[in-house]
């Protein structure tokens, strides 16, 4: 989604200016056209050459440069931008932006720029907490700017406090979210489940599965980047993803907890849910009676021959239950099937039994597909019997393909009499 997006990145004269180099590199790799503007003070910390090399584009640092190019381009740069990102934003530049000043290239471009403004303030914690800085931030937010909240941690001053420049991944997530506001899921509320459920045996042990959560997180992030309001209900995830940005995250443990969270979200929502995508790996069975204390060798729980018998009972089928639930009617429902044999046959029967709109099936026994991998090779089963086999793709692209198929279903529901 960043491909060919025009991003003007203002880099201010703060100690975190060097970290903006990584941000430019990642934006450029994602296909964005990044025009970097350094404030005069930023050039005391970093050089234009670094940013020109990373962005593959000309860098601006001086509105009054003798060639006249910066002066000639500053209005057009602002007018043609899809996003104005200021990262790091110093206290000083926040003040100038809040006042509508235009005494350098960055602030002049900002005044000419109708695109969304995304600010990543980074500074020493007292400067950040100061009433003047906070008032300037409020003014900018009231005017429509989005703030990436600075993180808490070690600051260049040697103190620990709020004011740290966020990780590149966090900044990229904000960029995607702000750029996606007008996307094809704008105004939609979607629920995505991710990860695996864990069924306790006792307070220490559980029966789990190999779900990494990557597919569900990718689906949630893609929906956010298309403008949706997203609730992500996640079980255990083995992937160490950063907390998703701009997504409501609810953690659950067992299948019964997942079911309660999904039901609450879908059936009791004040604002109706438009789509539910269940990418979580849900345990079909749970231990009927988990032990209250840790099961010990030689304890009364053992059989006479030293073996241990666990009785498993069937867990409810969350999607099948919703199929007959009036309060979930109208919600586009997408299920996942992780199979190791007879993928097509099992997928088709699951789609029918659970009355799904789409079923995404993957053969988890295949290399590069399924649990823990960054890629997935899936087949999408439609209600009308169509089956689409997708190539082996990064999970983000699989997520995009799934939403591409959900969007027309959402539109079709609206036009139905």
Q: Is 113 in the site for ligand FMN (CB under 6 A)?
A: no
Label residue 313 exposed, middle or buried (CB < 10 Å: 0-12, 13-18, 19+).
Answer: exposed
The residue within the footprint of ligand FMN, chosen from 42, 115, 120, 191 (CB under 6 A), is 42
Q: Give the total of residues touching ligand FMN (CB under 6 A).
A: 15
Interface region with ligand FMN, contact rule CB under 6 A, candidates 37-45, 58-66, 263-271, 292-300: 37-45
Q: Binding to ligand FMN (CB under 6 A): which residues in 2-31?
A: 12-16
Which among 17, 59, 16 is positioned nearest to 34, based on CA atoms? 59
Q: What are phi and psi of 413, to 5 degrees?
A: -65, -35
Distance of CA 230 to the CA centre of its chain: 9
User: What part of residues 119-138 is at the interface with ligand FMN (CB under 6 A)?
Assistant: 122-123, 127
- Which residue's CB is nearer to ligand FMN, number 119 or number 262? 119
- Quick check: helix, strand or coil at residue 369? coil
Q: Are 120 and 170 in contact (CB under 8 A)?
A: no
216 binds ligand FMN (CB under 6 A): no
Does residue 93 touch ligand FMN according to CB under 6 A?
yes
Residue sitting closest to ligand FMN (CB): 14
Please identify, among the stretches 90-98, 242-250, 307-315, 322-330, the one whose residues bind ligand FMN according to the rule CB under 6 A. Answer: 90-98
Q: Are 225 and 244 in contact (CB under 8 A)?
A: no
* Residue span binding ligand FMN (CB under 6 A) among the ranges 39-47, 168-176, 319-327, 363-371: 39-47
Q: Which is nearer to ligand FMN, 96 or 177 (CB)?
A: 96
Burial of 314 (0-12, 13-18, 19+ CB in 10 A): exposed
Q: Does the footprint of ligand FMN cover residue 91 (CB under 6 A)?
A: yes
254 touching ligand FMN, by CB under 6 A: no
Q: Rule CB under 6 A: choose which of 47, 80, 92, 346 binds ligand FMN.
A: 92
Q: Cα(210)–Cα(280) distance, rounded to whole angstroms?
A: 11
Distant-in-sequence, close-in-space partners of 367: CB < 8 Å, separation ≥ 6 = none
Question: Considering the rule CB under 6 A, would residue 198 count as an interface residue with ligand FMN?
Answer: no
> Which region, left, alpha or beta, applies to residue 17 given φ > 0 means left and ψ of -120 to 50 means alpha?
alpha
Determine which one of 136, 209, 362, 376 is catalytic: 209
CA–CA dist 158, 271 (Å, integer)? 46
Shortest distance, CB of residue 122 to ligand FMN, whole angstroms? Answer: 5
Q: How far apart are CA 169 and CA 217, in angstroms?
A: 14
Distance CA 50, CA 65 (A): 19
362 is catalytic: no
Contact between 41 and ligand FMN (CB under 6 A)? yes
- Interaction site with ligand FMN (CB under 6 A): 12-16, 39, 41-42, 90-93, 122-123, 127
Q: Which residues are catalytic?
A: 209
């Amino acid at each position: 989604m960043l491909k060919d997006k025009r991003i003007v990145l203002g880099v201010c004269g703060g100690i975190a200016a060097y970290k903006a180099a990584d941000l430019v590199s990642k934006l450029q790799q994602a296909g964005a056209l990044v025009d970097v503007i350094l404030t005069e003070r930023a050039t005391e910390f970093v050089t234009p050459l670094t940013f020109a090399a990373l962005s593959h584009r000309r860098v601006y640092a001086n509105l009054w440069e003798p060639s006249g190019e910066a002066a000639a381009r500053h209005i057009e740069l602002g007018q043609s931008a899809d996003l104005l990102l200021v990262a790091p934003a110093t206290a000083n530049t926040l003040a100038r932006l809040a006042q509508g000043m235009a005494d350098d290239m960055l602030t002049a471009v900002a005044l000419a720029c109708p695109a969304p403004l995304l600010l990543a303030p980074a500074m020493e914690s007292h400067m950040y907490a100061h009433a003047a800085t906070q008032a300037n931030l409020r003014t900018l937010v009231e005017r429509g700017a989005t703030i990436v909240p600075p993180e808490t941690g070690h600051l260049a001053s040697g103190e620990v406090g709020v004011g740290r420049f966020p990780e590149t991944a966090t900044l990229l997530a904000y960029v995607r979210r702000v750029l996606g506001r007008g996307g094809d899921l704008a105004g939609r509320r979607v629920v995505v489940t991710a990860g695996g459920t864990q069924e306790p045996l006792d307070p220490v042990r559980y029966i789990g599965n190999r779900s990494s959560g990557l597919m569900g997180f990718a689906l949630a992030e893609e929906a956010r980047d298309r403008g949706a309001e997203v609730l992500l209900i996640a079980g255990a995830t083995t992937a160490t993803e950063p907390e998703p940005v701009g997504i409501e995250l609810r953690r659950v443990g067992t299948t019964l907890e997942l079911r309660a969270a999904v039901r609450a979200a879908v059936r009791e929502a004040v604002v109706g849910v438009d789509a539910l995508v269940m990418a979580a790996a849900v345990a079909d069975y749970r231990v009927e009676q988990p032990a209250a204390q840790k099961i010990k060798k030689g304890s009364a729980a053992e059989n006479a021959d030293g073996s241990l018998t666990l009785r498993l009972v069937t867990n409810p089928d969350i999607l099948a239950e919703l199929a007959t639930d009036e309060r979930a009617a109208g919600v586009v429902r997408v299920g996942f099937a992780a199979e190791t044999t007879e993928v097509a046959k099992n997928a088709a029967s699951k789609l029918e039994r659970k009355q799904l709109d789409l079923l995404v099936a993957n053969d988890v026994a295949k290399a590069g597909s399924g649990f823990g991998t960054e890629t997935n090779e899936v087949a999408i089963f439609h209600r009308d019997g169509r089956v689409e086999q997708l190539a082996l793709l990064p999970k983000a692209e699989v997520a995009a393909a799934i939403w591409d198929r959900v969007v027309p279903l959402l539109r079709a529901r609206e036009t139905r009499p």
